[in-house]
Amino acid sequence: MEQINYIYDQLKSPQAIAITMHQKPDPDAMGSSLALFHYLKKLGHQVTVISPTNWADFLKWMPGCNEVIDFESNKVVAEKILSNIDFLFCLDYNNFSRTRYMEQLLINLSCKKILIDHHREPHTESFDYGISDYTKSSTAEMIFDFIMESGGEQYLDKDIAVSLYAGVMADTGSFRFSSTTSNVHLMVAKLKTFNIDHPKIHTAVYDNFLENRLRFIGHVLSNRMEVLYEYNVAIIAIPKADIIKFHIKTGDTEGLVNYPLSIQGIEMAALLIDRDEERKWSFRSKETFDCNSFARKYFQGGGHYNASGGRSTFSIEDNIKQFKQALKEFTSKQ
């Protein structure tokens, strides 16, 4: 993978470009993709944003979100667009496996592929150009850097600023995580010059759910959470029946994994959700627990040191047993 600055000159003439993100995109994936979308359009490129799956309702307010193509719902249209692009930007994921049913299609594309991502252990051989920096707070921060370093500061506008702010706000936990460096604050200061309404953005992302979600959270915290004090760990395991009972949809479980971390002494929290085709894991930790290594070793996942994901095709009961055994083994070696 060549350095990303090698493509700056190549973007000075109009190109057909697609921007992709990981499945079930979060605010950082969607925000960084839409910010890049608006920027590249200003440079005169033909640009399309394609999400592997649908996305949460609390992202639909973002400028340009109505133009994003859902691959699962519009496969024919998306495939036609992808077959005629010159550049593919891959944002907020570092392995094509995170694009679900788009994986093989993207691997087979003959266009130039550019990675911009902040997760550990990137599959660099899959990309022609790019930057992977796990010390960055968010992909939104990296898109801001991309715009500034490629000489595009004059193209920043309110739509780009709003999208980037939403992404960095969410991935830094509203600026409380250790990844919130001085550069993040300098970036936000620059974005604020575009008169963005940051309380409104916070409300749109965090306070934009239906009543059933709050009742669902109360239910799972009361009935589905197990605290393993011997490991300073808590696990929430949600069966499919709960998803159906409370009419839970995409985005409704966002942030749920963080709740157990508010318990005094708990260092790591795990969330297991029984989806149709597989079981999905989310792992979060405070300081000393390496979620990335744990997810990679036991649950076909990975991500960041303090925030990672995983998956499994085994039953939810077998996953819980595997988790407890893995926890015992993993903590004994720390």
Given a contact cutoff of 8 angstroms between Cβ atoms, the answer to whether 141 and 184 are in contact is: yes
**Residue 154: what residue type?**
Q
pLDDT tens digits, 81-126: 999 999 999 999 999 999 999 999 999 999 999 999 999 999 999 9
Distance of CA 89 to the CA centre of its chain: 15
Distance CA 121, CA 78 (A): 28
Return the higher-pLDDT residue of 334 and 230: 230
Query: Which residues have CB under 8 Å from 81's CB, separation 6+?
Result: 18, 48, 50, 69
pLDDT tens digits, 48-78: 999 999 999 999 999 999 999 999 999 999 9
Rounded to two decimals, the pTM is: 0.92
**Residue 295: what residue type?**
A
Distance of CA 203 to the CA centre of its chain: 19
As a whole number, mean pLDDT of residues 122-140 equals: 97
In angstroms and rounded to an integer, the radius of gyration of the C-alpha atoms of the chain is 20
Query: Which residues have CB under 8 Å from 200's CB, separation 6+?
Result: none
**Dihedral (C-alpha) 14, 20, 21, 22: value to the nearest 10 degrees?**
-160
Query: Which residues have CB under 8 Å from 271's CB, separation 6+?
Result: 235, 236, 238, 253, 256, 257, 281, 282, 283
Alpha helices in 92-134 (DSSP H): 103-108
Angle at 282 between CA 278 and CA 283, to 5 degrees: 145
Given a contact cutoff of 8 angstroms between Cβ atoms, the answer to whether 140 and 31 are in contact is: yes
Distance CA 239, CA 273 (A): 6
Given a contact cutoff of 8 angstroms between Cβ atoms, the answer to whether 72 and 55 are in contact is: no
Residue 214, pLDDT score: 97
Distance CA 294, CA 285 (A): 11
What are the sequence ranges of the domains in the chain? 2-206, 212-332
Equal CATH topology for 2-206 and 212-332: no
As a whole number, mean pLDDT of residues 117-136 equals: 96
Q: How many CB atoms lie within 10 A of CB 201?
A: 20
Residue 334, pLDDT score: 65
Sheet strands side by side (includes 129-132)? 2-3, 129-132, 112-117, 87-91, 16-20, 46-51, 69-70
As a whole number, mean pLDDT of residues 154-179 equals: 96
Distance CA 152, CA 260 (A): 42
CATH architecture of 2-206: Alpha-Beta Complex (3.90)
Residue 106, pLDDT score: 98
List of E strands, 160-299: 225-228, 233-238, 268-274, 279-285
Question: What's the CATH code, domain 212-332?
Answer: 3.10.310.30
Residue 87, pLDDT score: 98
Closest CA to 21 of 149, 117, 126: 117
pLDDT tens digits, 6-31: 999 999 999 999 999 999 999 999 99
pLDDT tens digits, 291-321: 999 999 999 999 999 999 999 999 999 999 9
